[in-house]
Amino acid sequence: MKSASDLGLPVIGVGLLYQQGYFRQYIDNNGEQQAYKPFNDPGQLPVTPLRLPNGEWLRIEIPLRGYPVWLRAWQVQVGRVKLYLLDSNDAANIPIYREITSEVYGGGSDMRIKQEIILGIGGWRLLETLGIAPDVCHLNEGHAAFAVLERAHSYMQRTGETFEVALAITRAGNLFTTHTAVAAGFDHFTPSLIAEYLSEYAEKKLNISLHDLLALGRQNPGDTSENFNMAYLAIRGCGNVNGVSRLHGQVSRHIFEPLFERWPTEEVPVGHVTNGVHMPSWESASADDCWTETCGKDRWQGTNDTLTQTQDMLRVSDSRLWKMRNEARSSLIDYIRQRLAAEGASYGVTAEAIGNTRKIFDPNILTIGFARRFVAYKRPDLLLHDPARLVRLLTNDKQPVQLIIAGKAPPADQGGRDLIRRWVQFIRQTGTSQHVIFVSDYDMLLAEHLVEGMDVWLNTPQRPWEASGTSGMKVLVNGGVNLSELDGWWVEAYTPEVGWALGDGREHGNDPGLDAREAEDLFNLLEKEVIPDFYNRNADNIPVSWIARVRKSMATLTPYFSASRTVQEYTEKYYLPAADAYHTRAAANVAKGKQIVHWKSAIELAWPRIYFGEVTVKTEEAQHLFEVPVFLAGLDPHSVMVELFAREDQPQGSKLFRFEMQPLTSSGEEAKKGFIVYNAKVPATIPAGDYTPRLIPRHEGVSVPLENARILWQR
Ligand SMILES: *Cc1c(COP(=O)(O)O)cnc(C)c1O
């Protein structure tokens, strides 16, 4: 939203205002994570009540399991754009409704569905109430997917169309961004929970049966035992789908394959836009000085294209960059010392111990950071695979290292909490508290300090679980260097000139030896490359080759992994075309929308009776001439397309060949039997036998297979 504001893009955000936010972390004497949930007083947050012209607080009413819930609306001014937040903590509500918006990630699926109804249905209704009619609705993960239903519902109210037509029209203006790298990561609800909360909504508002609503969230609409998957609803309700990095796009095409039966994985309709971060929000004071001298004050305004083209940072001298790095590291260490002293005092630690924390660490030592949510796939324990080697590495007299660790484990995740305890115990048992610390209560403020000062940002997820990752992007602007598993965004960013890579760039499933191998690789990398490079100084005590990496990473990666680029890409690739598509479908009294619905039912009707006749091939002059008779069962030939398809496996991945076949206007034997003969001439660079004819739905402006996943293969 900050970048949208910077770019002047008219965007409105909608979310929930959680009274207790996410828990606050405290690590007790046993290294156990304890959770606190202080109340966020809205009076102290940068939010203001959203009021009606008559001064009354804007409230909206949402039906929830037979009894309505009242929602209050708040607004946050984000530069030039607005974020609206809903909450249910209104005295007008029954108590169990008041706590729906207490905590993010709180409660079980009953709580979750209520939150998602408030976000999706309530969120869209809020916009309606404000008289805002966006062309494009961007769903950030499946949690918000009920919005597609409410958008269709309000379209029905406005036009009197059926739900089917309304969805066919409005979905063109919806974009679904998936952020999950494993199928188990999606929200799903039991059919009975959906029935409890949404059967009345389906029948009275959408005018569809509960069964039809459930079908939108199921892989197999006919399977009444299947749960309702929010990501599936999002896919059925959107005109485009994307993942958040190139690799994640690929992973998502596998995840969503089940919805596109018999389609090649490569054609599963999921694209990608790689994430970015809002650079000015993460930039240190010393980096700001350096960038301003080099690229000017307005460098983050606009699209960053100039930064990308000129790469001005490449011209900054070694000594200037090293000065910046030293300032930023010192300032981080000051902050850590103060924070630890304050924390110690609040825990009742002795004055002597507090005195020690004021001296902890050394501003001249290589400083490595790891701050993440503590969950198994991020493998925060990779360095603990060899504790003795880690101690040697940290306490090396000539080339010492200091390590700062932070992160919260999800409160219900015992495994994550164990990982925190293992670090705390390691520090105690090895007496390395002058070299490694666990800083409690990782949040955005702490993150800001960490990413400003770190020399190396360590990232050790198990590929391909990190859909993108963003914290590593936050160090780029500050001249921090990434050492990361080749996963998420780093696959696109890494070259040996800008950082270090862990892993072989492949997936290893449940391979039990993987962590030990990668831990070994990580130690080798640190001992043989990273640490020596940092301490390899010239006559002026500058680590010239280290600085070369810093410079290259700042100059080339910062503009690209900036949210300006991300927002620009979303706008060009998705928002503008989606707005057009939505208007096209709605135009001329929803004519196009109705056509799409008719087209779909005609295909459904004819589909079981469509089949291929005998294929003939002649090869001459380096071309195969294919003739393929197709029995269309009365279907208008324009509503489908016949293609020749082939796949050639190449080292870089497989290459797909698709050639459209043309119907012949023949009056021969075949035509008499009701066949249409399609033909095509294709290059004979691959054998004729590698081509397979296939028939797929086609309708102008409609995305296939996203909106119609039928496909018939000749064999
Ligand atoms: C940036 C950030 C994250 C996300 O970091 P990842 O690398 O994507 O895991 C999590 N928590 C905080 C506080 C952050 O600032």
pLDDT tens for 469-490 read 999 999 999 999 999 999 999 9
Ligand 1 center from residue 553 Cα (angstroms):
20
Nearest CA to ligand 1 atom 1: 471
| pLDDT higher than threshold 80 for residue 532 | yes
| pLDDT higher than threshold 80 for residue 193 | yes
| pLDDT higher than threshold 70 for residue 653 | yes
What is the pLDDT, as a whole number, of residue 701? 93
E strand map for 308-462: 366-371, 401-406, 436-439, 456-459
Choice among 256-265, 356-365, 638-647 with the minimum mean pLDDT? 356-365
Nearest CA to ligand 1 atom 5: 471
Residue 89 lies in a domain: no
What is the pLDDT, as a whole number, of residue 44? 87
Query: Is 203 in the same domain as 228?
Result: yes
Ligand 1 center from residue 369 Cα (angstroms):
13
Nearest CA to ligand 1 atom 8: 469
Ligand 1 center from residue 500 Cα (angstroms):
20
Single-letter amino acid code for the residue at 404: I
Query: Domain tally for the chain?
Result: 3
Ligand 1 center from residue 279 Cα (angstroms):
14
Give me the percent of the chain exceeding a pLDDT of 70: 99
What is the pLDDT, as a whole number, of residue 72? 95
pLDDT tens for 444-461 read 999 999 999 999 999 999
Ligand 1: which residues within 6 Å by Cβ? 372, 442-444, 447, 469-472, 474
Span 87-101, average pLDDT: 93
Ligand 1 center from residue 448 Cα (angstroms):
10
pLDDT tens for 604-645 read 999 999 999 999 999 998 999 999 999 999 999 999 999 999
| pLDDT higher than threshold 90 for residue 29 | no
Tell which one of 22, 278, 370, 444 to mutate to probe ligand 1, the residue whose CB is within 8 A of the most ligand atoms. 444
Residue 35 lies in a domain: no
Query: Is 421 in the same domain as 502?
Result: yes
What is the pLDDT, as a whole number, of residue 282? 98
Query: Is 584 in the same domain as 655?
Result: no
What is the pLDDT, as a whole number, of residue 666? 66
- DSSP conformational letter for 526: I
Query: Is 601 in the same domain as 705?
Result: no
Ligand 1 center from residue 89 Cα (angstroms):
28
Tell which one of 244, 471, 478 to mutate to probe ligand 1, the residue whose CB is within 8 A of the most ligand atoms. 471
Q: How far is CA 287 from the centre of its chain?
A: 28
Query: Is 570 in the same domain as 617?
Result: no
Residue 659 lies in a domain: yes
Ligand 1 center from residue 652 Cα (angstroms):
32
Residue 323 lies in a domain: no
pLDDT tens for 108-163 read 999 999 999 999 999 999 999 999 999 999 999 999 999 999 999 999 999 999 99
Residue 2 lies in a domain: no
Q: Which residues pair with 85 in a beta bridge?
A: 15, 74
What is the pLDDT, as a whole number, of residue 652? 80
What is the pLDDT, as a whole number, of residue 348? 79
- What is the position in ligand 1's atom list of the atom closest to the CA of 451? 15
What is the pLDDT, as a whole number, of residue 43? 85
- What is the position in ligand 1's atom list of the atom closest to the CA of 474? 1
Nearest CA to ligand 1 atom 3: 471
Query: Is 389 in the same domain as 531?
Result: yes
Alpha carbon distance 521, 420 (integer Å): 23
Query: Is 231 in the same domain as 337?
Result: no
pLDDT tens for 298-323 read 998 887 787 887 788 999 999 999 99
Query: Is 630 in the same domain as 603?
Result: no
Ligand 1 center from residue 475 Cα (angstroms):
12
Find, among 533, 527, 549, 543, the residue nearest to 482 by Cα.
549
What is the pLDDT, as a whole number, of residue 650? 84
- H-helix or E-strand containing 417? helix 414-430
Query: Is 577 in the same domain as 440?
Result: no
Residue 43 lies in a domain: no
Per-residue pLDDT band at 587 (split at 50, 70, 90): confident
| pLDDT higher than threshold 70 for residue 667 | no
- What is the position in ligand 1's atom list of the atom closest to the CA of 459? 7
Query: Is 568 in the same domain as 527?
Result: no
Ligand 1 center from residue 22 Cα (angstroms):
13
Ligand 1 center from residue 558 Cα (angstroms):
17
The pair of structure tokens assigned to 48 is 């203001």
Alpha carbon distance 400, 436 (integer Å): 11
What is the pLDDT, as a whole number, of residue 377? 94
Span 637-657, average pLDDT: 91
Residue span of the structural domain in which 214 resides: 134-276+562-607
Residue 16 lies in a domain: no
Residue 316 lies in a domain: no
What is the pLDDT, as a whole number, of residue 302? 81
Tell which one of 25, 245, 281, 372 to mutate to probe ligand 1, the residue whose CB is within 8 A of the most ligand atoms. 372
Query: Is 385 in the same domain as 457?
Result: yes
Q: Which of 547, 581, 598 is the last residue of a domain?
A: 547
Nearest CA to ligand 1 atom 15: 444
- What is the position in ligand 1's atom list of the atom closest to the CA of 471? 7
* CATH at 643: 2.60.40.10
Strand ranges of the sheet holding 271-272, from the earlier edge strand across to the other edge: 137-140, 174-177, 240-243, 271-272
Q: Which residues pair with 72 in a beta bridge?
A: 59, 87
Give me the chain's average pLDDT, please: 94
| pLDDT higher than threshold 80 for residue 671 | no
Query: Is 585 in the same domain as 625?
Result: no
Span 252-270, average pLDDT: 97
* CATH at 513: 3.40.50.2000
